[in-house]
Amino acid sequence: MIGAASALQQGNPTPVMPTASRDIIVSNTLGLHARPAMQFVDLANQFRSRVTVSKGGEEPYSADGKSVMQMIILAATQGTPLKILADGDDADQAVEKLAQLFEDKFGEE
Protein backbone atom coordinates (compact mmCIF):
# COMPACT_ATOMS: atom_id res chain seq x y z
CA MET A 1 0.00 0.00 0.00
CA ILE A 2 2.86 2.36 0.76
CA GLY A 3 4.26 1.80 -2.73
CA ALA A 4 0.95 2.74 -4.35
CA ALA A 5 0.59 5.87 -2.20
CA SER A 6 4.17 6.86 -3.00
CA ALA A 7 3.56 6.37 -6.72
CA LEU A 8 0.47 8.59 -6.55
CA GLN A 9 2.36 11.33 -4.72
CA GLN A 10 5.00 11.31 -7.45
CA GLY A 11 2.33 11.67 -10.15
CA ASN A 12 2.64 8.06 -11.29
CA PRO A 13 -0.50 5.99 -11.89
CA THR A 14 -1.49 3.28 -9.44
CA PRO A 15 0.30 0.01 -10.19
CA VAL A 16 -1.73 -2.24 -12.47
CA MET A 17 -2.64 -5.71 -11.22
CA PRO A 18 -1.65 -8.60 -13.48
CA THR A 19 -4.51 -9.97 -15.56
CA ALA A 20 -5.05 -13.20 -17.45
CA SER A 21 -7.92 -14.52 -19.54
CA ARG A 22 -8.87 -17.54 -21.56
CA ASP A 23 -11.73 -18.28 -23.93
CA ILE A 24 -13.32 -21.68 -23.34
CA ILE A 25 -16.31 -23.65 -24.60
CA VAL A 26 -18.57 -25.52 -22.18
CA SER A 27 -18.12 -29.08 -23.42
CA ASN A 28 -19.71 -31.28 -20.75
CA THR A 29 -23.13 -32.65 -21.69
CA LEU A 30 -25.06 -31.11 -18.78
CA GLY A 31 -23.42 -27.67 -19.01
CA LEU A 32 -22.65 -25.47 -16.04
CA HIS A 33 -25.31 -26.75 -13.62
CA ALA A 34 -25.08 -26.57 -9.81
CA ARG A 35 -22.36 -29.17 -9.17
CA PRO A 36 -19.79 -27.87 -11.69
CA ALA A 37 -20.63 -24.28 -10.74
CA MET A 38 -19.80 -25.15 -7.13
CA GLN A 39 -16.56 -26.86 -8.20
CA PHE A 40 -15.60 -23.74 -10.15
CA VAL A 41 -16.41 -21.40 -7.24
CA ASP A 42 -14.60 -23.59 -4.70
CA LEU A 43 -11.47 -23.52 -6.87
CA ALA A 44 -11.79 -19.80 -7.68
CA ASN A 45 -11.95 -19.01 -3.96
CA GLN A 46 -8.53 -20.62 -3.48
CA PHE A 47 -6.97 -17.70 -5.38
CA ARG A 48 -6.48 -14.10 -4.28
CA SER A 49 -7.32 -12.80 -7.76
CA ARG A 50 -10.74 -11.45 -8.66
CA VAL A 51 -12.35 -13.92 -11.08
CA THR A 52 -15.01 -12.99 -13.64
CA VAL A 53 -16.72 -15.25 -16.18
CA SER A 54 -18.38 -13.59 -19.17
CA LYS A 55 -20.85 -14.93 -21.69
CA GLY A 56 -21.47 -13.07 -24.93
CA GLY A 57 -24.12 -13.68 -27.53
CA GLU A 58 -27.78 -12.71 -27.46
CA GLU A 59 -27.93 -12.54 -23.65
CA PRO A 60 -24.50 -11.29 -22.51
CA TYR A 61 -23.73 -11.58 -18.81
CA SER A 62 -20.68 -11.29 -16.55
CA ALA A 63 -20.59 -13.31 -13.36
CA ASP A 64 -18.44 -13.12 -10.25
CA GLY A 65 -16.54 -16.41 -10.50
CA LYS A 66 -16.57 -16.67 -6.71
CA SER A 67 -20.40 -16.65 -6.48
CA VAL A 68 -22.33 -19.88 -7.08
CA MET A 69 -25.59 -18.05 -7.80
CA GLN A 70 -23.99 -15.77 -10.39
CA MET A 71 -22.28 -18.72 -12.06
CA ILE A 72 -25.58 -20.61 -12.31
CA ILE A 73 -27.30 -17.52 -13.73
CA LEU A 74 -24.87 -17.71 -16.69
CA ALA A 75 -27.10 -20.57 -17.91
CA ALA A 76 -24.11 -21.95 -19.81
CA THR A 77 -25.25 -25.06 -21.65
CA GLN A 78 -23.04 -27.39 -23.69
CA GLY A 79 -21.41 -25.42 -26.51
CA THR A 80 -21.64 -22.02 -24.77
CA PRO A 81 -18.49 -19.90 -25.27
CA LEU A 82 -17.25 -18.23 -22.08
CA LYS A 83 -14.29 -16.04 -21.13
CA ILE A 84 -12.55 -16.53 -17.80
CA LEU A 85 -10.80 -13.36 -16.60
CA ALA A 86 -8.68 -12.99 -13.46
CA ASP A 87 -7.12 -9.84 -11.99
CA GLY A 88 -4.47 -10.21 -9.30
CA ASP A 89 -1.07 -11.57 -8.37
CA ASP A 90 -2.05 -15.17 -9.10
CA ALA A 91 -4.19 -14.43 -12.19
CA ASP A 92 -2.26 -16.71 -14.57
CA GLN A 93 -2.44 -19.68 -12.22
CA ALA A 94 -6.14 -19.05 -11.49
CA VAL A 95 -7.14 -18.94 -15.16
CA GLU A 96 -5.05 -22.01 -15.96
CA LYS A 97 -6.60 -24.12 -13.17
CA LEU A 98 -10.16 -22.89 -13.78
CA ALA A 99 -9.94 -23.53 -17.53
CA GLN A 100 -8.68 -27.04 -16.75
CA LEU A 101 -12.00 -27.78 -15.00
CA PHE A 102 -13.83 -27.10 -18.27
CA GLU A 103 -11.28 -29.08 -20.28
CA ASP A 104 -11.78 -32.04 -17.90
CA LYS A 105 -15.56 -31.66 -18.23
CA PHE A 106 -15.77 -31.29 -14.44
CA GLY A 107 -15.10 -35.02 -14.14
CA GLU A 108 -18.60 -35.83 -15.43
CA GLU A 109 -17.68 -37.72 -18.58
C-alpha distances in Å from residue 3, one per residue of 20, 48, 52, 55, 89: 23, 19, 27, 36, 15
* 3 state SS of 63: strand
Candidate list 19, 21, 30, 33, residue with the active-site label: 33
Q: Where are the beta strands (DSSP E) in the chain?
A: 19-25, 50-55, 61-64, 81-87
33 classed as catalytic = yes
Annotated catalytic residues are 33
